[in-house]
Chain A
Amino acid sequence: KAGVTQTPRYLIKTRGQQVTLSCSPISGHRSVSWYQQTPGQGLQFLFEYFSETQRNKGNFPGRFSGRQFSNSRSEMNVSTLELGDSALYLCASSLGDRVIDEQFFGPGTRLTVL
Chain B
Amino acid sequence: QKEVEQDPGPLSVPEGAIVSLNCTYSNSAFQYFMWYRQYSRKGPELLMYTYSSGNKEDGRFTAQVDKSSKYISLFIRDSQPSDSATYLCAIPPPRNAGNNRKLIWGLGTSLAVNP
* A-to-B contact residues, CB < 8 Å: 4, 33, 41-43, 45, 48, 55-58, 90, 92, 99-100, 102-108
Contacts and interface: CB of A to CB of B under 8 A. Distances in A.
A46 to B, nearest CB: 10
A17 to B, nearest CB: 24
Nearest to B105: A43
Contacts of A33: 102
A92 B46 CA distance: 11
Interface stretch (B14-22, B37-45, B60-68, B77-85): B37-45
Nearest to B51: A100
A45 B103 contact: yes
B69 interface: no
Contacts of A45: 102-103, 105
B88 interface: yes
Contacts of A4: 43
Interface residues of B, number: 21
B100 interface: yes
B108 A42 contact: yes
Nearest to B44: A105
Interface of B: 32, 34, 41-46, 49, 88, 92-93, 99-103, 105-108
Given A99-B101, A107-B41, 10 more contacts: A33-B102, A42-B88, A42-B105, A42-B106, A43-B105, A58-B102, A90-B44, A99-B102, A103-B103, A108-B43
B104 to A, nearest CB: 9
Contacts of B102: 33, 45, 48, 56, 58, 99
A55 B101 CA distance: 9
A106 B32 contact: no
A66 to B, nearest CB: 14
Contacts of B106: 42
A107 B46 CA distance: 14
A107 B101 contact: no
B93 A99 contact: yes
11 contacts: A43-B88, A43-B108, A45-B103, A45-B105, A55-B99, A56-B100, A56-B101, A58-B102, A92-B43, A100-B92, A103-B103
